[in-house]
Amino acid sequence: MSDTSREPKTVAFATSCWERDWKQILFDSDYLAKKQIANHHFPFAEKILVINNVKNPSLVLKAAEERIQEGVLTRVLIADEVAPLLLASFGLKREEFQPGPDAAQYASVNPDWIYYNALGPLAAIYGAKSDYLLYLTGDVRLDQPVDWVGKAIGLMEDEPRYKVANLLWNRKKKEAKVESFEKKRGFYVSDKGFSDQLFLIKRADFFAPIYREIREDAAHFPRGDVFEKRVFSAMRNRGWLRLTYAKGSYTHENM
């Protein structure tokens, strides 16, 4: 059972934007404030935007600062500015982010694409200050409210093997169930799988040099040495487990 008397954990919300989605995130009045943040029904200690791979960072920063003044965001990180420090902290080099043999099947996939794909979530992990981090890519939203973050943290605090939690992806409950080996308090439990689209983690576990452990059984991740392939490998190496909430879903649409 959960210990309700223990000190509450702080949680940071973070999302990242790039050239094709920053206007959607920062200028749509409902998208960031409601569909990305409020619909999680959780009092986030931080609300962070990572500005990642945009043509005019100062223009995006100006729009983001307006959201800070409104209280929608609390802080902005410019990925390129923190990149040298975070790469050193995680023991990574930019040249290690390489496309895979299937990269030609996807538009615009090159070493820069692989690098910036990882830089967004790595910057959020590096820059957040809270106990936990909920990260969403910029093209992920919640169309309906889901009260799940506190429930996930309760399980993760009770069982140290539970290291990642997420919602269903695009309402694919059957797929999540098939990938799991048991169900615990409304969550499917899986010993493999990870998605960078939406994840809740205890930040201390992932603020570590664990991102170079690419396994052969991670070859099913497309495009190359992407962030989710690296996390999948680290989790498998340590026996970490994934939780998927069965009663709520996010929507992912490529932008």
Helix, coil or strand: residue 229: helix
Q: What is the pLDDT of residue 254?
A: 80
Under a CB-based contact definition with an 8 Å cutoff, are residues 16 and 123 in contact?
yes
Does residue 40 or residue 255 have the better pLDDT? 40
Does the residue 2 lie in any domain?
no
In a domain, residue 5? The reply is no
Q: How many domains does the chain have?
A: 1
In this prediction, residues 149-177 reach a mean pLDDT of 97
- Residue 86 belongs to what domain range? 11-252
**3-17 average pLDDT score:** 85
Return the pLDDT at 2: 46
The answer to whether residue 5 scores a pLDDT higher than 70 is: no
SS3 assignment, position 3 = coil
Please state the rounded mean pLDDT for residues 51-57.
97
Answer yes or no: is 94 within a domain: yes
pLDDT of residue 6: 74
Identify whether 84 is part of a domain. yes
> Within a domain: residue 1?
no
71 in a domain, yes or no?
yes
What is residue 75's predicted lDDT score, i.e. its pLDDT? 97
Structure confidence at residue 144 as a pLDDT band (50, 70, 90): very high
**Rounded mean pLDDT of the chain?**
96
Please report the pLDDT score of residue 48 as a whole number. Answer: 98
Q: Which pLDDT does position 153 carry in this prediction?
A: 98
Quote the distance between the C-alpha of residue 126 and its chain's center. Answer: 12
- Supply the pLDDT for residue 85: 97
pLDDT digits (tens, 9 = 90+) for 164-220: 999 999 999 999 999 999 999 999 999 989 999 999 999 999 999 999 999 999 999
Tell me, what CATH number does 97's domain have? Answer: 3.90.550.10
Q: What confidence tens digit (pLDDT) does each residue in 128-141 have?
A: 999 999 999 999 99
Give the separation between CA 189 and CA 197, rounded to whole angstroms.
Answer: 18
Structure confidence at residue 7 (pLDDT): 83
Q: What is residue 37's DSSP assignment?
A: I
d(CA 166, CA 151): 11
Mean pLDDT of 90-102: 96
Average pLDDT over residues 82-92: 97
Query: Can you give the pLDDT at residue 33?
Result: 98
The pLDDT, as a whole number, for residue 4 is 47
What is the b/e burial string over 191-206, where b = at least 16 CB atoms within 10 angstroms of the residue's CB?
eebbbbbbbbbbbebb
Question: Residue 57 has what pLDDT?
Answer: 96
Query: CA-CA distance, 167 to 149, in Å (whole number)?
Result: 9
Examine residue 6 and state whether it is found in any structural domain, yes or no. no
In a domain, 197, yes or no: yes
User: Which residues, in sequence order, are CB contacts of 59 under 8 Å at separation 6+?
Assistant: none
Residue type for position 254: N
> Percentage of the chain with pLDDT > 90?
94
Does the reported pTM lie above 0.75?
A: yes
Query: Backbone dihedral region of 12: left (phi > 0), alpha (psi from -120 to 50 degrees) or beta?
Result: beta
Average pLDDT over residues 63-75: 98
